Structure formats: structure tokens, C-alpha cells
């Protein structure tokens, strides 16, 4: 169908030969030696041991969607094509290619981390450096403090090697530092040209990726042989099409600790109410998953689902009901929820992101006011664990995700792809063209089974 054709074109990943048709390729310097044993019964048609190389073919694809809806009214059904409930959508598989478009001795690679902190940044930096070295790259540098490091003369490039990065994943944060705002795209590309950088690895969120794509386009315009590869960093898990992004698992894990503290405080107080604010500017994934995981949340509030605080069906009257029936209650609220209740601040940060009002503090104040007003005793405690969570080191599952993403970022750059980002999709690792994944934030579907499961576990009613 036309939709499938459009899809194929949309998810084609840009390659340096699109703009530089004469770019030369070389045999890969990344050696794969293993061979999967093939039972004699199935050996027919398989390559011989001599032919076997184990590289990823450029035409390999991963199935993006595998779900079959028998009706468009099923929970979570996305009717992208109204005539079709059976979707097959394919995206490019990540991994090392047999042919590479950069000679390792000619490569000067740079890594930059932008935006806010997220568990796993150091794990990704580490793995990019290690994989570059395995290809034979000698010139590897970190750009300090985000895109700002390209223009700020007081910030020197940080030479990176396996020795430097060996243990950096044992602590949180970013070895290179992060920042918001910074120089224009053409200034960044000027600086890259001057420094001779021909591989750029960009770790960051939506804003950073918009920047990375603009850098890729500027390099194309100047006909530079440069590979720009992103690794999506968003603790909120709000990147389209990806199963999950690194740092999210760790965030949910840590959020549970905050929830547990709030629960203990609430449970130990007379008519105790614990309120926990979690990350999630436009998407409630952390709040939803942490609520599901902890089993200690009575009310989960996310940006995607509107709610009332006041009135007979509001959050506050349900809190009163919970105090009367259970004696205590715990609320988990995502930072982007209930923004309508707050006065617009109309301020933006250095990157141009709107600064949100503080829904956690607002809820704390409104809850206290409400119970005081009706003369009903309530002991309200508020916890905001945001910065404690962001600064954590990655847990085991995020550590593995970061390792694979870091390796694939390097494989993608050597294969000559640029303007791409790496991700995990239906449990397989893939390359996406950047614009497809940053078109809008991924959000919790209020009609999805997962959100319904969350409501079942908290037992909360609709607050509208
Ligand atoms: P986080 O999830 O922490 O918000 P982010 O990548 O979205 O991560 P931002 O502060 O929005 O963080 O942006 C990071 C960097 O990207 C900044 O240096 C900013 O100047 C740059 N940037 C943001 N949007 C664009 C854009 N549209 N074009 C070019 N650069 C951009
Ligand atoms: Mg952002």
C-alpha cells in the first residue's frame, strides 16, 4: 500500500554516499570471528566457514510493529492506516558492517553530552571509546559541557582512551559535563572543521537531537565527510518508537525508594499523606511504572490524563476517603501533570524549553489547605527525589542497554551513516533517521492496557 511505501522511505537512514557519491569504502577493521553452529540438517544453503563473516547486511530490517488489532476499538489500537489493522513496518538493523567508510587512522572522533543528567551517560561514553579503539581509532576526544564546549575557548578538548574511561561507569553523571543552550549550528560546524572532527557522537534528548540533525545537514551542505550519530538520552522514556531509553529503568528503580519512604512516613503518621513528585515533563512513564512496581501508590497523576483537585470527584475528596477508610495515602505526581492549575511562569531555560510550574509543591499546599478548611486532621509530607535519581549510576539492565547502544553508535558511524540515532525496538537494536523519533514526545496512551493496569493497581477513580 502507499502507506507502506511512504514508511519505507521515511525510515531509510541517511548515508554519506547520498551527498558524496564518490566516498570510498574499505574492508572493516572490526573483526568478527564467531560462527553460529549450524546443525547438519539445516546446513544446506548456509555459507561455509570460509564465507562466514557475521556482519550485519545493510538490507537487514527489524519489524517495528507486530501487533494485530481485530478492531480499532481495542485498548491501545493505533489506527495509523484506517483500512489496515495488520501492520508490518520495518526499520534498519544496527550493528557492524563488512564495509566501512572511514579509515581508522583518518578518524578524529568527538563525544558530547547535552541537556540534563541521566543514569548511564558514562556507560555510553565508555563503550563508544572502547569500540572506537577496537576499530583502531587513536584520536578520540570529549567536548566538555555540551555544545557550549565547541565555542568556549576556556574549555579544552578532553583526550579519551580506554584507560581514561575504564571505571567511569561506576559513578553517575557525565565525565564530560553537560549544559543547555550554546553556540549556533554553523558555529559548531565551523569548530568541527577547524578541529578536524569527522565523527561526532551526540548524547542527549530531543533538543540535542534536533541540534545533531541540524549539524548533519550543515555538514551535508558543506559537503563534509562527517558522521553524526545520536544516542537518545531521556530519563522520561519519551522517545518515539523505542522500547525504552537508557536511564529509565534505573529511574523507576530509584523512584520506588522515594515512594517507599513516602509510604512509611504516611503510614506511620496519624492520617498521613505522602506526595512524591517524579520526572516526566510531557510523559508519565516513570510515574506509571514506579506506581506499578512499588504497589504502594493510591493515586498516580500524569500529564496525559486530566484531573480535578477540587470538587466531589477531585483528588482531594478521594484523599479524604482514603484517610477515612485506610488511614493513610500516597500520591505520585509527574512533574508535567496538572499544569493548568499553576500560574504560567512564561520563562524558558537556555535551550528554549518552557520552565514548568511546580505541581508537587502546589499539591502539598492545596492538600494542607483543603484538610485545614474542612477541619479534618491530615499530616502531609512531600518528597521530590528528582536530582537524587538523575545523579544515580545505571543499574544492570541500563548498563547493558548503554553498552549495546554505544557499540552500535560507533558501528553506524563507521558504516557511513549520518543523521541517525540508535535505539532498541521490539527487543532488537536499530538505527532510526533522527527526525522520525523527535517529531513529538512519546506519551502514555490513556486508552492503553498499561495505563488501565496501573489504575487497577492503585484503585483510583477518574478524577473528572
Ligand atoms: P533533556 O531531556 O535533558 O531536556 P535535551 O537534549 O532536550 O535533553 P535541551 O537543553 O533542550 O536538552 O537541548 C540540549 C542542547 O541542544 C542545547 O545546547 C540546545 O541549545 C540544543 N538545541 C535544542 N534545540 C535545538 C534545535 N532545534 N536546533 C539546534 N540545537 C538545539
Ligand atoms: Mg528536552
208 lines ligand 1 (CB under 6 A): yes
| Burial letters 422-451, b for 16+ CB under 10 A, else e | bbbbeebbbbbbbeebbeebbbbeeebeeb
Question: Is the pTM above the cut of 0.90?
Answer: yes
Q: What is the structure's pLDDT at 51?
A: 75
Question: Which pLDDT value is given to residue 4?
Answer: 61
- Which among 187, 102, 117, 118 is positioned nearest to 149, based on CA atoms? 187
pLDDT of amino acid 83: 57
Please, which residues have CB less than 5 A from ligand 2, an ion?
Answer: 205-207
Nearest Cα residue to 342 out of 329, 328, 355: 355
State which of 115, 119, 185, 434 you would mutate to test the pocket of ligand 1, scoring each by most atoms of that ligand within 8 A of its C-beta: 115
- Residue 96's pLDDT is 96
Mean pLDDT of 29-58: 76
CA-to-CA distance for 34 and 428, rounded, in angstroms? Answer: 20
pLDDT of res. 44: 75
Which residues does the annotation mark as catalytic? Answer: 236
Confidence tier at 267 by pLDDT (50, 70, 90): very high
Does the interface ipTM go beyond 0.90? yes
Helix%, strand%, coil% for the chain, nearest 5: 35, 15, 45
Average pLDDT over residues 202-222: 97
Is there an atom of ligand 1 within 6 Å of 182 CB?
Answer: yes
pLDDT band at 3 (very low <50, low <70, confident <90, very high): low
Query: Which residue matches cell numbers 582512551?
Result: 161
pLDDT tens digits for range 188-202: 999 999 999 999 999
CA distance 170 to 401: 15
* pLDDT per position as a tens digit, 65-121: 655 666 767 776 665 555 555 556 788 999 999 999 999 999 999 999 999 999 999
Give the pLDDT mean for 138-151: 98
Cβ atoms of 404 and 96 within 8 Å: the answer is: no
Q: Do residues 138 and 131 make contact, with C-beta atoms less than 8 angstroms apart?
A: no
Question: For the residues 432-453, what does the mean pLDDT come to?
Answer: 94
What pLDDT is recorded for position 70? 66
Amino acid at each position: 500500500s502507499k502507506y507502506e511505501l511512504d514508511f519505507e522511505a521515511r525510515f531509510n537512514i541517511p548515508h554519506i554516499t547520498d551527498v558524496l557519491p564518490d566516498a570510498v569504502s574499505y574492508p572493516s577493521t572490526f573483526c568478527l570471528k564467531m560462527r553460529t553452529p549450524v546443525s547438519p540438517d539445516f546446513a544446506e544453503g548456509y555459507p561455509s566457514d570460509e564465507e562466514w563473516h557475521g556482519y550485519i547486511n545493510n538490507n537487514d530490517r527489524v519489524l517495528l510493529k507486530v501487533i494485530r488489532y481485530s478492531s480499532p476499538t481495542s485498548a491501545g489500537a493505533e489506527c495509523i492506516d484506517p483500512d489496515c489493522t495488520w501492520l508490518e513496518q520495518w526499520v534498519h538493523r544496527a550493528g557492524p558492517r563488512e564495509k566501512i567508510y572511514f579509515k581508522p587512522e583518518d578518524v578524529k572522533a568527538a563525544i558530547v553530552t547535552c541537556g540534563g543528567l541521566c543514569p548511564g551517560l558514562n556507560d555510553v561514553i565508555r563503550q563508544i571509546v572502547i569500540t572506537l579503539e577496537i576499530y583502531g581509532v587513536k584520536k578520540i576526544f570529549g567536548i566538555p559541557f555540551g555544545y557550549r564546549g565547541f565555542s568556549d575557548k576556556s574549555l579544552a578538548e578532553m583526550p579519551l582512551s580506554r584507560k581514561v574511561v575504564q571505571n567511569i561507569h561506576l559513578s553517575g553523571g557525565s565525565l564530560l559535563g553537560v549544559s543547555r543552550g550554546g553556540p549556533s549550528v554553523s558555529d559548531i560546524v565551523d569548530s568541527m572543521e577547524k578541529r578536524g572532527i569527522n565523527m561526532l557522537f551526540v548524547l542527549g534528548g530531543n533538543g540535542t537531537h534536533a541540534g545533531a540533525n541540524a549539524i548533519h545537514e550543515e555538514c551535508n551542505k558543506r559537503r563534509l565527510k562527517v558522521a553524526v550519530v545520536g544516542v537518545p538520552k531521556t530519563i522520561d522514556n519519551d522517545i518515539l518508537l523505542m522500547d525504552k531509553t537508557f536511564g529509565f529503568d534505573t529511574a523507576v528503580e530509584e523512584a520506588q525508594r522515594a515512594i517507599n519512604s513516602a509510604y512509611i512516613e504516611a503510614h506511620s503518621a496519624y492520617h498521613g499523606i505522602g506526595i512524591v513528585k517524579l520526572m516526566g515533563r510531557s510523559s508519565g512513564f516513570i510515574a506509571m511504572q514506579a506506581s506499578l512496581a512499588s504497589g504502594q501508590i493510591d493515586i498516580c497523576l500524569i500529564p496525559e490524563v486530566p484531573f480535578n483537585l477540587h470538587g466531589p470527584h477531585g483528588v482531594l475528596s478521594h484523599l479524604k476517603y482514603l484517610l477515612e477508610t485506610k488511614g493513610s495515602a500516597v500520591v505520585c505526581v509527574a512533574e508535567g501533570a496538572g499544569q493548568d492549575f499553576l500560574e504560567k511562569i512564561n520563562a524558558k531555560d537556555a535551550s528554549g524549553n518552557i520552565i514548568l510550574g511546580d505541581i508537587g509543591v502546589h499539591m502539598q499546599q492545596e492538600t494542607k489547605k483543603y484538610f485545614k478548611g474542612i477541619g479534618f486532621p491530615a499530616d502531609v509530607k512531600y518528597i521530590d527525589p528528582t536530582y537524587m535519581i538523575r545523579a544515580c549510576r545505571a543499574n544492570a539492565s541500563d548498563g547493558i542497554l548503554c553498552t549495546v547502544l554505544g557499540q552500535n553508535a560507533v558501528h553506524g558511524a563507521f558504516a557511513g551513516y549520518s543523521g541517525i540515532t540508535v535505539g532498541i525496538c521490539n527487543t532488537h537494536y536499530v538505527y532510526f533517521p533522527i527526525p522520525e523519533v523527535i517529531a513529538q514526545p512519546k506519551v502514555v496512551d490513556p486508552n492503553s492496557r498499561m495505563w488501565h493496569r496501573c489504575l487497577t493497581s492503585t484503585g483510583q477513580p477518574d478524577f473528572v
